[in-house]
Amino acid sequence: MDTQLPLKVILESRTYLIYNFRSFTYSELYSSIADLLCDSEPTFDIMIPNPTKWILISDNDGFASYIQYSVSPIIYIVYPHTPCLIRVQTYNLSTNTKQSKWRMRVHMIAQQIKEISADIIALQDVSSKSHSRSAKNIEKTGKNKKKTVKTCDTLKDLMELLPEYSYSYWHISHRRHNGDTEGIAIISRFPIIETKSIKLAKYPKSVHNDSCLKVIIDHPKRKLSIYNAQLASDSKYQAHQAYEIYSFMNSEESPFLMQVLLADTNIKDNFSLPADFLEGKFPVNSAIGNLKDAWKFSHVKSEGYTFPSWHPLHRYDRIYYRNIEDPPICEVAGYAENSHMYASEHCSVYADFIVAIE
């Protein structure tokens, strides 16, 4: 067992690390956490996740038993009967780029994510070597000449820079001509206990299989239903895809579960039909949505454009929600100085939600 790995202590959108903790008693652990939180009169609970329920640790035996069998232990701090904030983020990584440029960009992306410090992040345009046909792909150049093309495993590269996110799930959307796979992903500080996905209607000549991913997050306060979607770039198909996503959300077994949709909608500024449907302003296929737009709630006049990041003209990236209180904040981050130096072609959007006990 690697005793050098720190204990991760998670409170809302913060992750603390405690080293040399394995000899601690429960009281010493509690005092150390109180010092970290600058809590002079601590009243928090220490929780750990397991496959079926959250477990309260309240004595030496419980703590010793947990760390004995945990290579990389995680504990969660909960203030009983007190609502907490949870921060969500949507971020298109724009990973269709040369490996040399990605090596620079991945550090910029990781820094953006660390600064926002969201609990749950939906990522779009995420490549993965683990699902590729080969780790090295061959392409023809000139007269049947071949050269090795090095590819990027963007999710692996990013997760190595973000150890505070212990849980992730990647879903394939399509395979490129060179064998690389690309998809959407969700990374989280909290356990992902269930996943489900659908393919959205594919439009002619598209190389993408647009999709929507759902994960159930096991937060100590309540379970959260998080959706990640990427709509077609052709606006003719977006309204129908929005209808498919909304129908997917309506198929939820628990109708009152908190639902948040984090999406790269590709909705251009001059075409509002998909958004109008989701927000209940216009019917599609005799259905009408009832989602709320986090940005519109927080910003009455500001446009909130996110693409391209160096001169935004469209609000591609959006956060929708229902069955939860309106967010105290929703912001755009990740603006680039120019088209030659950027973390991503997209800005990122994040919002805070108040999570009460279920």
Residues 138 and 251 in one domain: yes
Note the pLDDT tens digit of each residue in 284-340: 999 999 999 999 999 988 899 999 999 999 999 999 999 999 999 999 999 998 988
Burial of 85 (0-12, 13-18, 19+ CB in 10 A): middle
CA dist 139 and 133 (Å) reads 13
Residues 69 and 144 in one domain: no
Domain end residue (candidates: 78, 104, 129): 78
Instruction: Give a yes or no: residue 2 inside a domain.
Output: no
Note the pLDDT tens digit of each residue in 197-216: 999 987 776 666 789 999 99
As beta bridge partners, residue 57 has 46
As for how many domains the chain has, the answer is 2
CATH number at residue 145: 3.60.10.10
Specify whether the CB–CB gap between 283 and 229 falls below 8 A. Answer: no
Residues 134 and 252 in one domain: yes
CATH number at residue 36: 3.10.20.90
Domain end residue (candidates: 37, 53, 78): 78
In sequence order, what DSSP letters do the residues of 44-58 get, joined into one string?
A: -EEEEE-SSSEEEE-
Residues 205 and 270 in one domain: yes
Residues 220 and 154 in one domain: yes
**Spacing of C-alpha 307 from chain mean position:** 19
Specify whether the CB–CB gap between 159 and 152 falls below 8 A. Answer: no
Note the pLDDT tens digit of each residue in 159-182: 999 999 999 999 998 776 666 788
Domain end residue (candidates: 78, 104, 131): 78
For residue 142, pLDDT beyond 70: no
Residues 153 and 284 in one domain: yes
Q: How many CA atoms lie within 13 A of 81 on its CB side?
A: 1
Read off the pLDDT of each residue in 137-166 and give the average, rounded to a whole number: 66
For residue 135, pLDDT beyond 50: no
Instruction: Give a yes or no: residue 252 inside a domain.
Output: yes
Read off the pLDDT of each residue in 40-48 and give the average, rounded to a whole number: 92
Q: How does DSSP classify residue 216? A: E
| Residue 240 lies in domain | 85-355
For residue 149, pLDDT beyond 70: no
The residue type at 127: S
Residues 136 and 259 in one domain: yes
Percentage of residues in the chain with pLDDT exceeding 70?
88
Residues 68 and 93 in one domain: no
Read off the pLDDT of each residue in 80-98 and give the average, rounded to a whole number: 87
Residues 64 and 95 in one domain: no
State the pLDDT at residue 202: 79
- Select from 174, 210, 171 the least CA-distant residue to 187: 171
| Residue 266 pLDDT grade (very low, low, confident, very high; cuts 50, 70, 90) | very high
pTM of the predicted structure, to 2 decimals: 0.89
Residues 70 and 136 in one domain: no
CA dist 245 and 284 (Å) reads 12
